[in-house]
């Protein structure tokens, strides 16, 4: 009996030391396949912090000005986010210093964040730019939202930029199809519309939004067995390795398929988030005029504004790795916009030329990892000077 007790104590001590070593030493990205591991127990529902977003009468929602918060990414953990006076996750800018020229970056979640501030591609671009750079991406938006925000911010500055770079992502069409797709209730960003079985936009009623939000906020009642299981999955590498070996399902779904407050209804399979318009397409479905027209109109409106006001607009396509033909995923969009006189650069061929395109993205979260941030920053630094980006003199 004493022998077995000693073996048990030694085994538990060994597991505890191993768990501590993994917790403090192993990079988060290497343990990302364990869905609950290192996930804080007090995380809010959904993917975004409360009171970081505010309702907007035209855009549905926006980032509130002058705010501080924390965002959580499975592969990164928690990191600080904030907003300047214009509701951009960016530093404050001296308006007087912008009057001689600046560069404006627009986009969705890829441009907003999903990286620590100093590790983001925008900061790598800022370090090389000879002009001030404004980073005004807003997550979960397409170009209808982004153009409206651009006009508002530049009006506050009192001068248009020399160069605008719209960082285009594979769900922008879907976001514009349902625009304004999102609102804010009690400080939480929640969708206002979803798709029916025919891909028609259907409003979510106020009572249903409230019901889903309340359900997401409610602390689930757990048995002691469920609490122990959740604690082991959250804190123990040994437990996760054992559960994986036993096929007990520690893996995470990709973020695009996850549910947050008032998102995809679990009880109505035909009711779906708008990402699903494009999420399973092998090519970007620009040929579907019903889906593409709102997004196309916004891009052409932005181009017309750039031409009339004398600044340069560049649409930069962020490569999409979840397809069988990475290099040609955006071909229909790219060729159509170029025929209309829109200046387009496409990182897809460069991404396709890498040994493993998917290795540039977080496996669970789906946004750029550190390698992807470097890849896209290098792409912009190579392509944008021919459109007027002024670079600092090299030290060499």
Integer Cα distance of 248 and 242 in angstroms: 9
Tracing tokens 């770079």 back to the chain, one arrives at: 165
Fold of 104-180+274-387: Rossmann fold (3.40.50)
Integer Cα distance of 5 and 85 in angstroms: 62
Integer Cα distance of 160 and 104 in angstroms: 9
Q: What is the pLDDT of residue 322?
A: 87
Burial class (CB in 10 A: 0-12, 13-18, 19+), 253: exposed
Q: What is the pLDDT of residue 47?
A: 74
Q: What is the pLDDT of residue 197?
A: 80
What's the token pair of residue 44? Answer: 């809010």
Q: Who has greater pLDDT, 3 or 217?
A: 217
| Residues β-bridged to residue 315 | 166, 344
Integer Cα distance of 292 and 117 in angstroms: 32
**67 pLDDT higher than 70:** yes
* Continuous segment of H or E residues that includes residue 238: helix 237-245
Q: What is the pLDDT of residue 264?
A: 40
Tracing tokens 């210093």 back to the chain, one arrives at: 97
pTM: 0.86
Burial class (CB in 10 A: 0-12, 13-18, 19+), 24: exposed
**86 pLDDT higher than 90:** yes
What's the token pair of residue 396? Answer: 């060499």
Burial class (CB in 10 A: 0-12, 13-18, 19+), 62: buried
Tracing tokens 């370090």 back to the chain, one arrives at: 127
What's the token pair of residue 256? Answer: 């695009």
**132 pLDDT higher than 90:** yes
Integer Cα distance of 354 and 199 in angstroms: 35
What's the token pair of residue 11? Answer: 């085994």
* Secondary structure class of 80 (helix, strand, coil): strand
Q: Average the pLDDT over 157-171 and give the result.
A: 96
Q: What is the pLDDT of residue 298?
A: 98
Q: Which is it for strands 163-168 and 103-107: parallel, antiparallel or unpaired?
A: parallel
**Band of pLDDT at residue 248, cut at 50, 70 and 90:** low
Q: Which is it for strands 77-82 and 103-107: parallel, antiparallel or unpaired?
A: unpaired
What's the token pair of residue 239? Answer: 């437990």
Q: Average the pLDDT over 372-376 and give the result.
A: 96
**Band of pLDDT at residue 176, cut at 50, 70 and 90:** very high
* C-alpha angle 154-157-159 in degrees, rounded to nearest 5: 70
For 296-319, what is each residue's pLDDT tens digit? 999 999 999 999 999 999 999 999
Q: What is the pLDDT of residue 103?
A: 97
Q: What is the pLDDT of residue 258?
A: 36
Q: Who has greater pLDDT, 239 or 186?
A: 186
For 249-295, what is each residue's pLDDT tens digit? 656 655 443 333 444 434 444 456 767 777 667 899 999 999 999 99
* Secondary structure class of 145 (helix, strand, coil): helix
């Amino acid at each position: 009996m004493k022998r077995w007790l000693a073996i048990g104590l030694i085994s538990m001590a060994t597991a505890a030391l191993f768990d501590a070593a993994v917790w403090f030493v192993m990079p988060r990205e290497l343990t990302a396949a364990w869905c609950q591991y290192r996930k804080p127990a007090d995380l809010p529902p959904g993917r975004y912090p409360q009171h970081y977003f505010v309702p907007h009468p035209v855009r549905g929602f926006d980032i509130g000005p002058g705010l501080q918060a924390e965002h959580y990414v499975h592969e990164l953990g928690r990191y600080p986010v904030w907003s300047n006076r214009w509701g951009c996750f960016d530093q404050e800018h001296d308006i007087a210093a912008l009057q001689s020229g600046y560069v404006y970056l627009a986009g969705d979640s890829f441009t907003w964040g999903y990286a620590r501030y100093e590790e983001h591609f925008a900061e790598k671009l800022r370090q090389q730019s000879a002009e001030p750079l404004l980073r005004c991406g807003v997550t979960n938006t397409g170009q209808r939202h982004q153009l409206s925000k651009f006009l508002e911010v530049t009006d506050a500055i009192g001068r248009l930029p020399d160069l605008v770079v719209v960082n285009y992502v594979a769900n922008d069409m879907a976001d514009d199809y349902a625009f304004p797709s999102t609102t804010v209730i009690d400080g939480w960003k929640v969708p206002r519309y979803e798709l029916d079985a025919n891909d028609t936009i259907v409003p979510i009623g106020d009572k249903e939004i409230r019901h889903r939000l309340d359900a997401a906020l409610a602390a689930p009642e757990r048995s002691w067995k469920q609490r122990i299981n959740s604690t082991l999955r959250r804190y123990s590498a040994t437990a996760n390795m054992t559960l994986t070996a036993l096929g007990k399902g520690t893996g995470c779904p990709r973020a695009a398929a996850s549910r947050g407050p008032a998102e995809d209804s679990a009880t109505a399979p035909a009711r779906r988030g708008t990402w699903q318009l494009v999420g399973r397409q092998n090519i970007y479905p620009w040929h579907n005029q019903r889906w593409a027209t709102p997004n196309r109109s916004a891009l052409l409106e932005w181009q017309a504004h750039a031409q009339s006001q004398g600044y340069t607009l560049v649409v930069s396509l962020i490569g999409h790795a979840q397809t069988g033909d990475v290099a040609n995923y955006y071909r229909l969009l790219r060729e159509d916009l170029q025929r209309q006189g829109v200046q387009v650069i496409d990182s897809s061929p460069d991404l396709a030329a890498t040994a493993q395109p998917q290795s540039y993205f977080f496996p669970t979260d789906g946004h750029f990892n550190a390698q992807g941030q470097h890849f896209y920053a290098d792409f912009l630094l190579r392509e944008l000077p021919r459109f007027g980006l002024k670079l600092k003199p090299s030290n060499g």
